[in-house]
Amino acid sequence: SYSTPGLCQSVVMLPPASRLLSLLLVIGTGGAMPSPQVVPQGCYVAEEAGERTFRCSQAGLSTVPIGIPNDTRKLYLDANQLASVPAGAFQHLPVLEELDLSHNALAHLSGAAFQGLGSSLRHLDLSANQLASVPVEAFMGLQIQVNLSANPWHCDCALQEVLRQVRLAPGTGTGIVCGPGARPDLVGQEFLLLAGEEDLCGAGRGGARRGTDVALLVTMGGWLTLVMSYLVHYVWQNRDETRRSLKQAPVLPVRATLSTAEDSSTLSTVV
């Protein structure tokens, strides 16, 4: 009852068991034979040291390729033309341990670029790209050794916080140099030396909390000054009112007092 043009002739030529299996496959796929995933041109799958490796070096790729086997442990996408890594680009690779994205044109990483790799990824190479800054969120939850050298870094707070979460690949720290977009006094300098001398998060993410604390202290100081000023004003006002009250108190005339004294003396004499 199932008919697919050009398929019946092929099925008839097969042995009975193979013929039955082919018919079941046709029925299960709605009349279409399943096709294996196609490996992008210039890429190949290999077994290196007993681990599944997918190599796409110098393959002319402009986007992360599809068709990467799920059991891939080492993925090489170096020396291509990748300009960005979108969110969840590798989340279908649960056992990926090593990822090489070096020598591309990467200028942007999504904050979720390495989502799903927290429990497996150990080595990440981002060297020789066009990265000026990276979101700290992209590296959260990762226990990786990373190569960040040969990029035109802005040398900002985000990079300083990234280095607090990851470990640099041995010998790559000196290659993290401030690029043209950094502060003029930082261009051409090694970032690790600067980070040891200056807190670049003074006005950034890490400094936001400190800035809030300073603002709170300033506000409290302002209120305290206002209260003190009011108290001083209140004391001086009460002192002036007290002085005015004393000045306005009634005073007996001196002449009347003397007259009363004279009258008393006269009366005494007469008596």
Q: Kindly report the average pLDDT of the chain as a whole number.
A: 79
Q: Is residue 206 part of a domain?
A: yes
pLDDT score at 246: 64
Q: How confident is the model at residue 207 (pLDDT cuts 50, 70, 90)?
A: very low
Domain match, 140 and 66 both: yes
Domain match, 122 and 71 both: yes
Q: Is residue 255 part of a domain?
A: no
Domain match, 44 and 4 both: no
Q: Is residue 262 part of a domain?
A: no
Distance between CA atoms of residues 74 and 51, nearest Å: 8
Domain match, 101 and 215 both: no
3-class DSSP assignment, residue 55: strand
Q: Among 53-57, 157-161, 203-207, where is mean pLDDT lowest?
A: 203-207
Q: Is residue 266 part of a domain?
A: no
Beta strands in the chain (DSSP E): 44-48, 51-55, 74-76, 84-85, 98-100, 108-109, 123-125, 145-147, 167-168
Domain match, 3 and 47 both: no
Domain match, 56 and 11 both: no
Domain match, 2 and 123 both: no
Q: Is residue 27 part of a domain?
A: yes
| Per-residue pLDDT tens over the stretch 216-253 | 666 777 778 887 887 887 787 777 677 766 666 565 55
- Tell me how crowded residue 198 is: count the other CB atoms within 10 A of its CB: 12
Q: Is residue 7 part of a domain?
A: yes
88 to 92, 109, 183, 251, 257: CA distances (angstroms): 8, 11, 33, 95, 106
Domain match, 114 and 231 both: no
The count of structural domains within the chain is 3
Domain match, 29 and 45 both: no
Domain match, 31 and 8 both: yes
Distance between CA atoms of residues 220 and 67, nearest Å: 60
**Domain containing residue 20:** 1-35
Domain match, 151 and 167 both: yes
| Per-residue pLDDT tens over the stretch 128-165 | 999 999 999 999 999 999 999 999 999 999 999 999 98
- Tokens (6 digits) for 8: 């019946």
Domain match, 44 and 123 both: yes
